[in-house]
Amino acid sequence: MLAVAVLALGLLTRADHVTALDAAIARHFTWPDGAGPAPLITFMKAISWIGGGTPRWVLVGLIAAAVRYWGGRRPALAIVAAVLFANIASSLLKAAFDRPRPDLIAHLDHVSSASYPSGHATSAAALYLTLALLAPVRWRRPAWTFAMLMIGLTGLSRIMLGVHWPSDVVGGTLLGAAFALAAAWWARSERAGPA
């Protein structure tokens, strides 16, 4: 159902049915000249930096190593697989929908691909939701709090930096969540029977 929602939202963005709403929401989180409070912009750039490119994969590797230590091989592989396959799907959907990036403000981060869905939001949801879903019971509440915080900050950073529409972030989050659920199901299936 999440995958269907991603495709449906993508079709709505392609047909320009959500552009006015996107712009109205985005204007509340950006500054007309793109020069908001410097510490806030720097913080949002740091959040985006963590969620993209090489830093993203370093973080995935570190989290997978930690999960391998307390959860075993299969949950660690599930985390890597969730982010990897979510990113592949995001790239394919970007090429398919080919949505232009926002033009409300000058982009405050480098971009090189289409807008929908947000790859950063996809990765954040895939990584942090898989981690939260697989966390041991005693760590579950902090894991969910951390996941919601990082997913929210990552999505907000992409909008505030002027490089994504809100619907790109929603679509990416739904896409990442779909892969997180699939990965967590696969990791837990070992307990129910042979892999």
Q: Give the tens place of pLDDT for each residue, 65-118.
A: 998 988 889 999 999 999 999 999 999 999 999 888 988 888 878 888 888 999
pLDDT at residue 192 is higher than 60? no
Mean of per-residue pLDDT scores for the chain: 89
According to the model, what pLDDT value does residue 34 have? 59
Alpha-carbon torsion (164, 82, 148, 11), positive or negative: positive
Give residues with Cβ within 8 angstroms of 132, minimum separation 6.
140, 143, 144, 146, 147
Give the pLDDT mean for 168-181.
95
According to the model, what pLDDT value does residue 18 have? 86
Q: Give the tens place of pLDDT for each residue, 126-140.
A: 999 999 999 888 889
According to the model, what pLDDT value does residue 48 have? 92
According to the model, what pLDDT value does residue 2 have? 82
pLDDT at residue 194 is higher than 50? no
Q: pLDDT band at residue 191, thresholds of 50, 70 and 90? A: low
Q: Give the tens place of pLDDT for each residue, 32-44.
A: 765 678 898 899 9
Higher pLDDT, 195 or 11: 11
pTM over 0.85: yes
Higher pLDDT, 1 or 173: 173
Give the pLDDT mean for 6-34.
83
Residue-range domain boundaries for the chain? 2-192
Q: Give the tens place of pLDDT for each residue, 42-62.
A: 999 999 999 888 999 999 999
